A and B are shown apart, each in its own frame.
Chain A
Amino acid sequence: DAGVIQSPRHEVTEMGQEVTLRCKPISGHDYLFWYRQTMMRGLELLIYFNNNVPIDDSGMPEDRFSAKMPNASFSTLKIQPSEPRDSAVYFCASTYSRQPQHFGDGTRLSIL
């Protein structure tokens, strides 16, 4: 299997711009997770979906962040407007039936 695929791998943009991160989960997985990794807070769960439905978005930092999963093979995490403090590595992960989560290689986001 191809694994969890995230794009882009790196994103550099200016403060105030809209940023869209993309994720393709492993085929057959019905759970999808978005995480953010920073030096200060480590790996934090932002939101997760089950069968394309958002289950828990309590980790989303503020209204500037939104996530969608229009179908079983695609999800987006959007930040609008972006701020320098959003700079981090964002990971997507997927799983099924209580198996360990499989992570993508992440998107390194830098907001100038």
Chain B
Amino acid sequence: GAVVSQHPSRVICKSGTSVKIECRSLDFQATTMFWYRQFPKQSLMLMATSNEGSKATYEQGVEKDKFLINHASLTLSTLTVTSAHPEDSSFYICSGGGIGGDTQYFGPGTRLTVL
């Protein structure tokens, strides 16, 4: 199957700082990537759809100014959590592919802890 990498795997930061998470498709081109978030004991929840060369589409309740998404190439999407606060502490995971209901290929995720 296709491979997606995610970096960093774990980050601890102070409240108020910004954190950038990278999602790369290593062996396929992804015009669309998806960003999910998982809080403890909850489902993976879609945050936004990242589209190469255009603006991301955010799900209801997700602040676009707080979670900045950039999809500058067919293999890289980045999620920047701006001015992170403890309530942003969560597990963030990206995926590529999946158009038309097809298989999505996931990265290994990033554990963000905001102190």
A joins B in a complex: no
